[in-house]
Amino acid sequence: MDVTIEPSTVAGTAQAPPSKSYTHRAILAGGYSDSATVENPLLSADTRATIRAVEAFGGDVTRDAETGALEITGFDGAPSVPDDVIDCANSGTTMRLATATAGLVDGLTVLTGDGSLRGRPQGPLLRALDQLAARAESTRENGQAPLVVGGPLMGGSAPLPGDVSSQFVTALLFAGAATDAGVNISLQTELKSAPYVDITLDLLDAFGISARRTRDGFSVGGRQRYRLRDGAYTVPGDFSSASYLLAAGAIAGEDGVTVTGVYPSQQGDEAIVDLLGAMGADIEWDREAGELDVTADRLSGIETSVADTPDLLPTLAVLGATAEGTTRLTDCEHVRYKETDRVAATADALSTMGASVEETEDELVIEGGDSTLEGATLAGRGDHRIVMALAVAGLAADGETTLTGANHVDVSFPDFFEALAGLGATLTRSE
């Protein structure tokens, strides 16, 4: 699907979708349980991949037609050998979580994904699983999927780099609770995207699992059982997805935009609220009501690290292209290992639109004062976050902006274009 966006102003109210990160983890925790109910889940291409993985390991996931809640009958910490290859599609989270889960299986599991996912690094997780007595191999011997993984995962201690993906830590904490010995993770390098592990610890606690930070990493005790502390788990709203709606309001919301369903949580991307304020946007957050109000104002460039907020890089870059002065985004290298190289993809697209952008290995610098955005035809690059960020840029561009492959928003925010149109953006879709 292609989407063409005309210069537009936006106003009104839009609902933030449920958190993708929390939904992934809640579905998997339900799988590790005997049974669980997950309310307000995000149903997207990525989270459906995690549902398929849970079912492949012997669980069952059904959706309540009236409430939308997921009713999960789990494998209770003892996953079975899948009948078929687990296809993780484009979901890196699914791949990492399912890989560690496969280490608990008394037999072999084969995991793969689409072309993009087969190019993403899995080597550090494979090496850690091998050290914990599981079998974990890349069929092409390059640290990338397809993967072959088998148990039994005994537990113990394993080193991990912290600057490739925090999902490796999450995967081992989930599986480690079901081992005999538990798992101690020692980080060899500084942990990037650390708030995502905070989400993991928060979720594990809700399911009765004790895991903690240590002096040099993380630890989870063995022989624990996943059991919800309350009757159901409710997924909070997603700040990563809300960032595009908030950015649209900050750039083109002269009469104000309200984003609902955004309550405080462990999500690192809550930082978008303070970052928009630092750039000069008129923004207020009613935390108890879960409502964020933002009104367009003159924006100024900022310097900020995306070490813990990699998913915000495309959003912040677009904001920088419409702001006065320089926006410098630092600690970017790990953002290159996503669905696409998001640093390069963002730089290329904004440059095509007329922005002044300089890219280095670990930084992205946008000179807003030297940038005048012009409409252009831009490739979505199979990356939902690139598509949504560029759609926001299209609101402020001179002339039409066409995004090819815009259907990839299904990964995290299936109703994104409906939400944008509901705020008043002028857009058309074509197959």
Query: What is the tens place of the pLDDT at every residue in 133-167?
Result: 999 999 999 999 999 999 999 999 999 999 999 99
Look at residue 215 in the predicted model and tell me its pLDDT: 96
Whole-model pTM?
0.93
> Whole-angstrom Cα distance, residue 33 to residue 228?
8
The pLDDT tens digits for 371-406 are 899 999 999 999 999 999 999 999 999 999 999 999
pLDDT reported for residue 370:
86
Which 3-state string (H, E, C) describes the chain? CEEEECCCCCCEEEECCECHHHHHHHHHHHHHECEEEEECCCCCHHHHHHHHHHHHCCCEEEECCCCCCEEEECCCCCCCCCCCCEECCCCHHHHHHHHHHHCCCCCEEEEECCCCHHHCCCHHHHHHHHHCCCEEEECCCCCCCCEEEECCCCCEEEEECCCCCCHHHHHHHHHHCCCCCCEEEEECCCCCCHHHHHHHHHHHHHCCCCEEECCCEEEECCCCCECCCCCCEECCECHHHHHHHHHHHHHHCCCCEEEECCCCCCCHHHHHHHHHHHHCCEEEEECCCCEEEEECCCCECCEEECCCCHHHHHHHHHHHHCCECEEEEECCHHHHCCCCCHHHHHHHHHHHCCCEEEECCCEEEEEHHHCCCECCEEECCCCHHHHHHHHHHHHHCECCEEEECHHHHHHCCCCHHHHHHHCCCCEEEEC
pLDDT (0 to 100) of residue 371: 84
Known binding-site residue numbers for 3-phosphoshikimate: 20-21, 25, 165-167, 193, 311, 338
Residues 6+ apart with CB under 8 A from 66: none
- Binding-site annotation: residue ranges: 20-21, 25, 92, 120, 165-167, 193, 311, 338, 342, 385
Catalytic residue ranges: 311
- Residue 159 pLDDT: 96
State the binding site for phosphoenolpyruvate: 20, 92, 120, 167, 342, 385
Supply the pLDDT for residue 230.
85
How confident is the model at residue 178, as a pLDDT? 98
| Residue ranges in the chain modelled with pLDDT below 70 | none
The pLDDT of residue 431 is: 80
For the chain, list the domains and their CATH numbers: 2-17+237-430 (3.65.10.10), 20-234 (3.65.10.10)
